[in-house]
Structure 1
């Protein structure tokens, strides 16, 4: 049955609110006006995972939303929370898709047994969070994308200020509030939309470590991808976790002593008398009654779970030291701003004494302490602290004996009551299977059972609204229509169904559906206000399959993306299933092929040089708005040009540049070719299609593309004026023994003293020496000019018994070549010299006048004490080498070799250009050829 946008339903439908049944974001948002009953029911069947009991459902394009994997759930979830949740899911998390079961509600002991079975052999202990991490986490939660699906969790005064565009007031949660973790944040007066997913009581469910682990890889336990991954790094995951668990109830577990004084380094607090003492839940400066000139000593015991090496992290402003068992592990002493230092220590399982000393002189104050190991996610150390050494716990065997009966009862209930139909517990042969059965969709009734308004014994009880029950019934009945009426043949309808299922419409519009809702627009933030909504609101997906190439579409759906650094909301990763379903349909629905191939008037290297000029500050000035790799734009910092060829399709690129407003109305992207005419007619004959194609080819080099003019603001350009310049430093594409030679004729080369041959030739600017002449001078420098051509590496000469013999691939030095330095002629041009066996070689290159740019003439003089046979010089390697009327054409270069017939030979998948070297009676041979490019 095709997706239908029902315009008349607004007159007959009631609105769907947060209290109306189970929350499925697209259902709550679009049911009233844009989803008919059948499509709505199909969406609910998928998102309630009805297929786990009733088999496949016709017309579904994605696998249903699987229930969380419960294997090892005891390592991440509180047993008491599980017990309450199993007993009555809606009471603990209203709107959840988790059904209740009559027997579980009537007999709490069954829920107790299932919880005991799932969490057997594990312990759960809440951990405190730091105020600094909570503040950072609040910002991340409300900007990177969490709030787009889960709603704004802040105080109403903060929300109202942000929505009005004024500075928000200070957080209404004071430090006293932080000591009352059960106190909720009031947001009375602001209601998150009904289509935001409820978070539930996370502080009762997770530990800091388990929630941080989940946020980094939600697909590990929720494999259907409905909860996407935001590619959070460990620190970001920990900060968001700290914010979400800010109300966790934790007993004091760390002792502190408070001191007053002015220090520039930590004193020995053991020799001082504290002004105050107490107990706290965190290594926090908040225990100090003043902001400056104070010190703190925290003491307690860290409970190490297993033998191993542990890494400890301390960030402080000002100084701090961490000691474990009286041994200094992290030293972050002195006056300085915040910043982590770390140290490692091998520890045995059990309690270890901790001392953390800290002082604050003046200015800002900060203190954070974290721990990590091979099997322990980076997390606050405070969560693993106790005030006293903990007595040895009962052995695992004793614990197992004490709960054997309860665990066994829980295992049987898990298999019999239908839990195992939806949830995976165990791997492979150990996975528990459902022991019950349910009718297939084709055989089941469209009412009663799971859809009954009143609880029915023996079946799951979903908290469906009356409208949701009716919609599911309508979808089931529709499957009994003729097959042609059930299945969509419209690719656009398929795309809508998938985007509804994956909640893509929370951020993206496509067609007349979705996009950021007015009530949530304030959580979409950009870092460049001048870009307006274009810099903070995710782009429309209209024509996405035309704009983005297929490989990149797959990449961003499977792995996420961050190509708009100015946009704080991230493109999350949804995984393989979403990519496999959406990408081919995007391509089929959107892709256009309307731009013909463009015949280019010049060689590729010249085309790219002209394109480099086009995008620079002397022509179209693309660099004013677009970054270029590591180089910032001169104005706003829009999309990186070096990524465009990797992301976009050539056909769309041509059409978009000709008319940006057609593809993104309101964009700040200017039209550089208004009405198809260029604004820079002096470049590439003023041909718009050629200019756009040139830019496309230039950007195909990605990060290796030459930097456009106008970006190298601190360049130290070496300009040969009357004599050549010799520049010896690290050059891109050469060994560390590269030697660049620049000529006033604006034609240059770089000779490699490791390879004994010229490796680069180019035109225009010579070298920007700023990389090596400023600071520590790290990295390799690329030539400053254009038309950079690469010549073959490897031994320049070889003796070949036959022309079928491969050219040596061993380094020249290993082959016996020895560099003998260079000499300068009267004009200052170098002649490079090297020795090989009984051969003495001089290699000299000089400019000569050519068109359209000057060329190079290379002269090699080979002297031998003997008369070597079968000696060859290799001067070119490429996929194809042509010899036409005595001129060799290879990779955009034209070579003319004097007095000898060159040899072109095929070796595997490439061709080589060889010149025979035949010394005369005096033992001397001269090879001379010119290069024009």
Structure 2
């Protein structure tokens, strides 16, 4: 049973507690940090106003030397002409807040008469249409295939799944039709679900359960083309160097999938030809772009800012006309709400008396600007929103608790992580939590290059080298190998090797990641540095549980662990891992397919399991003569098949297992509403005749139905789908009483996704050619739906079907 009800219930409760909740219909600019914290008095008023001044780019026109007030600025427009749709540009210029509710772009044309405004929009659109740039070349690698014109080949369903799993929904609105996977609710969240709102407020936990509002998308189908959105997702920094939209290390096909999902309601794409625009109209638009100070926020080719307004420190927040309220012609109009106006006015009023920000204030402010709080908690602020937690999952739904699926805390991160490693993480090369579906995003280097030093300066205690923290660690390494077996290797791999079923972070290079002082303190008392961690203490009360090693000396035992881990491959793996490794019979189809006859729960005692190098696998039931199961990831462990006489059925080692429809894949029917034949050991309509393996190592299964000989072959596609090819040979003279039918799909419910694709309630999709689809029949019997297709009456017929899930 999926337990989203707890999150839904709490979300509904707190929508009715008087807290302001804003949707994409709001007119006021949406700034994530201000909306989440300042609106609830969880930021100092000065910080909230500074955040708005920065995110609304006030200093782009009103100069200031204060570092924390430097403007975010708008996106680069050097490619606006061929990256954005022309009609969207017009509509956005006409009414930014209507075109994209919550935008931080002001209305710069609000004071013009209607006719003059339309002329300005036409001229500005003409100028922006000339701002065109080539798309970068994406080079394919083994890990990143780049099909020809990949932006045209996005898969909506896969894009929806990626969007909801890799972290997009930490900031953006989830799709209410998407159902996340099952998660185990933490004890804390269960407790919160049982408390009344009044009790939660009294306990100071209101922020922990308050729904987090979404950064608005706007009308993406009207704005982007599939190509431009795909390339934007691949590298947002190219267009938005301020880094508020980071990149999520997408492959080319993944970016195309997410773009297809976000543009799924797009009906048409408009293209503009810059060569048909009058030069004088372009020149007029360029002049307006400078005069209206658009160039102060947006980068274009050749143009530089020339006009600036009064310095920020000299602004009179109480002036009768200003950008804050009652903006006049030639002033940008920001539809700020009262809270936003008050915050900015208070900050402006206090500017002359403000002391330079402390290192901690500077760091906190940058974390706020980059919205790191959308995923990470720091000093009891932020973290994944309560209403978004269900979307953070582990691979294959491995139960590691919230610690295994929610991004880690940033509290004390400068004390924990070495500066070099933190830089590596921020640069996108420090992924160690491979069990998490959410990805650590990559921000522009100029936005995060100072963060490792800032974290170390603010969080770091006096950091000593390991030779001072663990004076004898080099001499104790062999004892550390024994210490690891007291519990570490039950949860953590070592240098890529592990006990069966272990999915934690690898300790092999931990001495390159964490400070030795933190390592010591964490082992002594894990919960003091990481509340609610699953890591137990092996030194309760400061006492060792292994009195026989190093005389039970705690300091030496911890030093031994550090020494062993630092020695790396100079030390052998722990004995238990070596023993487990010698007993490992996992089959890995690396370069060629693997075919294994085995016993599987879903494929019976005559199962033929086929592992493919593309990491998508399937099992064929040779007794019932049908494909039975498919899955992704790891293949199978052959130990039980090879060595254990009464072994339990083999289970797939991977994830995303899906069952094929029960029953025969083809059948002879006397009439199209005849019940599909069920399997009977005594009267099986199909006769299995073995299989042959081709030069690529892929088996083709051979069987007979009546007078028809059938060859059934499966191969993997680039997107981990299975492509099936049924070759049917037999007499074209089918009798009047019987017709051979192919069963495309079955399920409790069937939904036609497009003219050639059907999907059942389990998420299995089947696609066939349009010719076969036209002849297909969708029928329903006994609460079961069938999609069956008549086999053309020819001597040799080939049916191709693609299975995706």
User: Who is 2:325 aligned against?
Assistant: 453
SS at match of 2:508: helix
Q: Work out which of the residue numbers 480, 500, 519 in structure 1 matches 2:352.
A: 480
Shift of 1:236: 1.8
Question: Whole-Å Cα distance in 2 between the matches of residues 88 and 408 of structure 1?
Answer: 23
In the aligned structure 1, how far is the partner of 2:512 from the partner of 2:232?
Answer: 31
Q: 1:138 aligns with which of 157, 160, 177?
A: 160
Which of 362, 377, 381 is the matching residue for 1:513?
A: 381
State the partner residue of 2:612.
Answer: none
Q: Aligned in 2, Cα 1:402/1:460: closer, same or farther, shift over 3 Å?
A: closer
Aligned with residue 366 of structure 2, among 495, 498, 514? 498
Q: 1:411 to 1:103 in 2, by over 3 A?
A: farther
1:694/1:578 Cα in 2 relative to 1: closer, same or farther (>3 Å)? farther
The residue matched to 1:707 in structure 2 has which SS?
A: coil
Q: Note if contact 1:99-1:461 (Cα within 8 Å) is conserved in structure 2.
A: yes
Q: 1:520 to 1:117 in 2, by over 3 A?
A: same
Aligned CA distance change for structure 1 residues 123 and 553 (closer, same or farther; 3 Å): closer
- CA drift at 1:57: 5.2
Given the alignment of the two structures, is residue 548 of structure 1 paired with residue 440 of structure 2, yes or no? no
The alignment status of 1:98 with 2:105, answered yes or no, reads yes
Q: How has the CA–CA distance of structure 1 residues 24 and 245 changed in structure 2, closer, same or farther, with 3 Å as cutoff? A: same
Shift of 1:33: 2.2
Distance 1:598 1:554, change over 3 A: closer
Q: For residue 554 of structure 2, what is the aligned residue in structure 1?
A: 688
The alpha-carbon deviation at position 601 of structure 1 amounts to 9.3
Whether 2:224 is the aligned partner of 1:196: answer no
User: What residue is the counterpart of 1:28 in the other structure?
Assistant: 35
In structure 2, distance between residues paired with 1:92 and 1:45: 22
Match 1:244 to one of 256, 262, 269: 262
Q: Is the 8 A contact 2:74 2:297 kept in 1?
A: yes
1:589 aligns with 2:464: no
Q: Secondary structure at the match of 1:642?
A: coil
- Alpha-carbon spacing, 1:161–1:535, altered in 2? closer, same or farther (3 Å): closer
Question: Superposition pairs for residues 279-318 of structure 1, below 5 Å?
Answer: none
Deviation, 1:657, is 0.8
Q: Tell me the distance in 1 between the aligned counterparts of 2:368 and 2:129.
A: 35
- Which of 44, 51, 71 is the matching residue for 2:59? 51
Instruction: Name 1:235's counterpart in structure 2.
Output: 253
Q: After the TM superposition, which residues 602-681 of structure 1 pair with which residues of structure 2 at under 5 Å, given as runs?
A: 604=474, 607-615=476-484, 619-681=485-547
Contact 2:476 2:559 in 1 (8 A): no
Partner deviation per Cα, 1:111-153 (whole Å, 9 max, x = no partner): 122122112286999x998897211111111111111011212
Deviation by residue 1:865-893 (Cα, 9 ceiling, x = unmatched) = xxxxxxxxxxxxxxxxxxxxxxxxxxxxx
1:100–1:460: 8 Å Cα contact kept in structure 2? yes
> Retained in 2: the 8 A contact 1:150–1:199?
yes
Aligned equivalent of 2:275: 400
Gaps of 5+ in 2: 1-17, 136-148, 187-208, 584-805
- What is residue 112 of structure 1 aligned with on the other side? 122
Q: Cα distance, 1:533 vs. partner? A: 0.7
- 1-structure distance, mates of 2:251, 2:570: 28
- 1:247 and 1:543 map into 2 onto residues whose CA distance is 44
Instruction: Tell me the CA shift for residue 406 of structure 1.
Output: 1.8
Whether 1:86 and 2:57 are equivalent positions in the alignment is: no
Aligned to 1:184: none
- 1:114 touches 1:407 (CA, 8 Å); kept in 2? yes
**Cα–Cα, structure 1 residues 209 and 702, in superposed 2: closer, same or farther, change >3 Å?**
farther
Distance 2:472 2:346 in 1: 64
1:628 deviates by: 2.3
1:417 aligns with 2:267: no
- Cα distance per residue 1:488-508 (max 9 Å; x no partner): 33x433332222111111111
- Answering whether residue 394 of structure 2 is matched by residue 526 of structure 1, we say yes
Whole-Å separation in 1 of the counterparts to 2:298 and 2:105: 11
**Residue 206 (structure 2) pairs with residue 208 (structure 1):** no
Q: Distance in 1 between matches of 2:282 and 2:572?
A: 67
Counterpart of 1:711 in 2: which secondary structure? helix
Could you tell me how far apart the structure 2 residues matched to 1:164 and 1:525 are? 12
CA distance in 1, matches of 2:471, 2:21: 62
Decide whether aligned partners of structure 1 residues 130 and 437 sit closer, same or farther in structure 2, where only a CA change above 3 A counts. closer
For the 8 Å contact 1:645–1:702, the answer to whether it is kept is no
Count how many residue pairs are aligned between Structure 1 and Structure 2. Answer: 523
Distance 1:248 1:577 in 2: 35
Pairing 1:434–2:305 present: yes
Secondary structure of 2:36's counterpart equals helix
- 2:404 corresponds, among 535, 538, 545, to 535
Structure with the bigger percentage of helix: 2
SS at match of 2:254: helix
How has the CA–CA distance of structure 1 residues 543 and 62 changed in structure 2, closer, same or farther, with 3 Å as cutoff?
farther
Distance change >3 Å, CA 23–CA 607, structure 1 → 2: same
TM-score scaled to structure 1, two decimals? 0.52
Q: Secondary structure at the match of 1:698?
A: helix
SS at match of 1:150: coil
Per the alignment, residue 908 of structure 1 pairs with: none
**How many Å separate the matches in 2 of 1:543 and 1:599?**
19
1:312-348 per-position Cα deviation (integer Å, ceiling 9, x unaligned): xxxxxxxxxxxxxxxxxxxxxxxxxxxxxxxxxxxxx
- How big is each residue's C-alpha offset from its partner over 1:595-634, in whole Å with a ceiling of 9 and x where there is no partner? 7856989794x6333322322xxx3131211122332443
2:173, 2:254 → 1: CA distance? 19
State how far apart, in whole Å, the 2-side matches of 1:123 and 1:590 are: 43
Pair member with larger Rg: 1
Q: How does 1:788-867 map to 2 (within 5 A)?
A: none
Native 8 Å contact 1:625 1:634 kept in 2:
no
Structure 1 position 198, deviation (Å): 0.2
Once the 2 structures are TM-superposed, how far is the Cα of residue 540 of structure 1 from its aligned partner? 1.5
Q: 2:570 & 2:278 partners in 1: Cα distance?
A: 64
1:14: how far off?
7.3
Tell me how far apart the structure 2 counterparts of residues 109 and 456 of structure 1 sit (CA, whole Å).
Answer: 19
Deviations 1:215-255, CA, capped at 9 Å, x for gaps: 1211111111111121112222122111111111149xxxx
Q: Give distance in 2, aligned partners of 1:649 and 1:713.
A: 31
Q: Which has the higher strand share?
A: 1
Give the match for residue 769 of structure 1. none
Shift in Å, 1:78: 1.1
Match of 1:17 among 18, 22, 26: 22
Decide whether the 8 Å contact of 1:70 with 1:425 is kept in 2: yes
Contact 1:150–1:196 (8 Å) recurs in 2: yes
Query: Aligned in 2, Cα 1:241/1:602: closer, same or farther, shift over 3 Å?
Result: same
8 Å Cα contact 1:87-1:104 kept in structure 2? no
Q: Once structures 1 and 2 are overlaid, which stretch shifts more, 660-669 or 673-682?
A: 673-682
**Inter-CA distance 715–128: structure 2 relative to 1 (3 Å threshold):** closer
The aligned counterpart of 1:861 is none
Question: 1:234 and 1:643, CA in 2 relative to 1: closer, same or farther beyond 3 A?
Answer: farther
Distance in 1 (alpha carbons) for counterparts of 2:414 and 2:304: 41
RMSD: 3.5
Alpha-carbon distance in 1 for matches of 2:80, 2:534:
50
Contact (CA 8 Å) 2:111, 2:328: kept in 1 or not? no
The change in CA–CA distance for 1:76 and 1:131 in structure 2 (over 3 A counts) is closer
